[in-house]
Amino acid sequence: MTFAAVIVAAGSGSRAGGAKQWRRLGGRPVARWSVEAFLEAGASEVVVVIAPGDTARAAEAFDGLQGWRTVAGGADRAASVRAGLEALTSPAEAVVMVHDAARPLLTPAHIHVLLEAVTDDTGAILALPVADSLRRGRDDLLEGSVDRTDLWRAQTPQAFPLGRLLDASRAVPPGAGPTDEADTYALAGGRVRLVAGDPRLMKLTYPEDFAMAEALVARQIRVGQGVDAHRWGPGDSVWLCGVEIAHGQTLVGHSDADAGLHALTDAILGALGDGDIGDHFPPTDPRWKGASSDRFLAHAVERVAARGGRIVNVDVTLICEQPKIKPHRQAMRERLAGLLALPVDAVSVKATTTEQMGFTGRGEGLAAQAVCLIELPG
C-alpha cells in the first residue's frame, strides 16, 4: 500500500531541556530514528516539519538518507501538521501517517500494523489501554478518582486517508486546538480505529525519559585488546598510564611512549573495529612528535561516543622489571578513570614481570596489554 509520512519535529522541547528532537539517542539524533523507520517501511515520501531556522540541524541529522525533505512548522501543532500535509505530493487516496519525532523507538512493524487497519474512510491510531488507577487532584491534594474504563493512551503514528485528513485539517478553526490528528479527523465526522500500541513507543517529554529510552535501545557488547612495547633509553622519568614516574631511564618512541595508554587506545579502537593507533596517529607525522598520549586516548573515547556507545570497563597490565608499579597504581587508575569518564572501580591497572626472561626480563624494554569492554547501539 502506498503511504506517505509527516514527522512533527517543530516543538521547542522545553520540558526535556530544549530541542529534544536533535539530541542523540543511541548515537543518533532523535528525529533520525523515525525517518529511518518510515524509509525502511517503504514510505513514498517523508516530510519532516521543523522549526524555522532548523534547516542546518535537519541536514546534519539526516545526512546520508534519501527520500525526505523539510517544511517549516506553524504556531501550534495543528498548523505544523497542516503544513506537512500540504507539502506532500502523494495522491488524495494514499495513506498518510503523522508521527511525533519525540517517539523515536518506532519500527516498521508498528507502521505495517496501521497500514492493515486504515481504510478508505476510517483512520487508525496506536493506543494503549490505561492500566494505572487515575486520580484527580489539585495543589498536591487528592480530590477523587477517575473511572479508567474505556480510557486509552493515544500514541503515534496515526494513519488516515490523505485527502480526508487534509480536508479535516483545513477545516479546523483557529484556536480550536485538537490534541492530535485523531481529534482533527473525528471533529470532521471521521471514524478512527484503535490499534494495539506499544509501551516502547514512549514519548520523550522530560529529561529522565532519555535515560529510560537509552535503556530500551538494543545494545551490543564489544571487546577489544591492545598490545604495545617500547625500548628503554636515556632519561630521568617515564610516562605510564598517564602518570609520570621518576626513573633512571625513559621509554623511547615518537610520542611520549606511554605504552599503557597506547595499548588501551588500541583496545578501544579494536572494540570499535576502527583500525589501530598508527592509522589515526601515524608515527611518520611530525605533529605527534613528543605528543602526550592522553590525546590519543581521548580521540578513541570520542570515537566511541560518536557511535552512541559507552566504555564499560578497562584492564591494563604493565610487563616490566622496573620501575615498580604498585606505588603508582592507584594514581594510574584515577588518571585513567578521569580520561575515560569512568568510576575508579571500572579501571584496573596491574603489573607483572617475566621472571627475567625475554626483552622485558633483560631490561631492554617495557610491554603493556589492555582489554576493554564497550557497549554500542544494536
Residues 10 and 130 in one domain: yes
Burial class for 375, CB neighbours closer than 10 Å (0-12, 13-18, 19+): middle
Spatial distance between the Cα atoms of 262 and 227, rounded to a whole number of angstroms: 8
Number of domains in the chain: 2
At 352 the pLDDT is 97
At 232 the pLDDT is 96
At 12 the pLDDT is 63
Residues 102 and 233 in one domain: no
Residues 160 and 297 in one domain: no
Residues 120 and 101 in one domain: yes
Task: From 156, 183, 216, give the residue that closes a domain.
Answer: 216
Phi and psi at residue 225, to the nearest 5°: -130, 155
Residues 179 and 309 in one domain: no
Spatial distance between the Cα atoms of 99 and 81, rounded to a whole number of angstroms: 9
Residues 192 and 235 in one domain: no
Residues 202 and 231 in one domain: no
Task: Of 91, 98, 96, give the one whose Cα is nearest residue 4.
Answer: 96
Residues 354 and 274 in one domain: yes
Residues 39 and 144 in one domain: yes
Task: From 187, 216, 245, give the residue that closes a domain.
Answer: 216
CB-facing half-sphere around the CA of 205: CA atoms within 13 A:
3
Q: Is 370 left (phi over 0), alpha (psi -120 to 50) or beta?
A: beta
Query: Which CATH number does the domain housing residue 110 bear?
Result: 3.90.550.10
At 15 the pLDDT is 54
Q: Are the CB atoms for 217 and 204 separated by under 8 Å?
A: no
Spatial distance between the Cα atoms of 24 and 26, rounded to a whole number of angstroms: 6
Residues 251 and 180 in one domain: no
**Collapsing DSSP states into helix, strand and coil, what is residue 104?**
coil
Q: What is the largest CA-CA distance in the chain?
A: 88
Task: From 183, 216, 249, give the residue that closes a domain.
Answer: 216
Q: Report the length, in residues, of the chain.
A: 378
Spatial distance between the Cα atoms of 250 and 236, rounded to a whole number of angstroms: 6
Spatial distance between the Cα atoms of 288 and 197, rounded to a whole number of angstroms: 55
Spatial distance between the Cα atoms of 159 and 164, rounded to a whole number of angstroms: 11
Query: Which CATH number does the domain housing residue 287 bear?
Result: 3.30.1330.50
What is the separation of C-alpha 150 from the centre of its chain, rounded to a whole number of angstroms?
36
Spatial distance between the Cα atoms of 206 and 184, rounded to a whole number of angstroms: 26
Domain that includes residue 284, residue range: 219-377
Count of other CB atoms within 10 angstroms of residue 39: 18
Q: 10-residue block means of pLDDT along the chain (378 residues)?
A: 93 63 89 96 96 94 94 91 95 96 95 95 95 88 88 96 95 79 93 94 91 83 96 96 96 94 97 94 88 95 89 97 96 97 96 96 96 89
Task: Of 268, 275, 260, 274, give the one whose Cα is nearest residue 336.
Answer: 260
For 44-96, the DSSP string reads S-EEEEE-TT-HHHHHHHTTT--SEEEEE--SSHHHHHHHHHHH--S-TTSEE
pTM: predicted TM-score of the whole model, two decimal places: 0.68
At 13 the pLDDT is 56
Q: Is 148 left (phi over 0), alpha (psi -120 to 50) or beta?
A: alpha
At 14 the pLDDT is 53
Residues 183 and 233 in one domain: no
At 127 the pLDDT is 96
Residues 212 and 275 in one domain: no
Distances (CA, A) of 203 to 20, 134, 281, 290: 11, 19, 42, 50
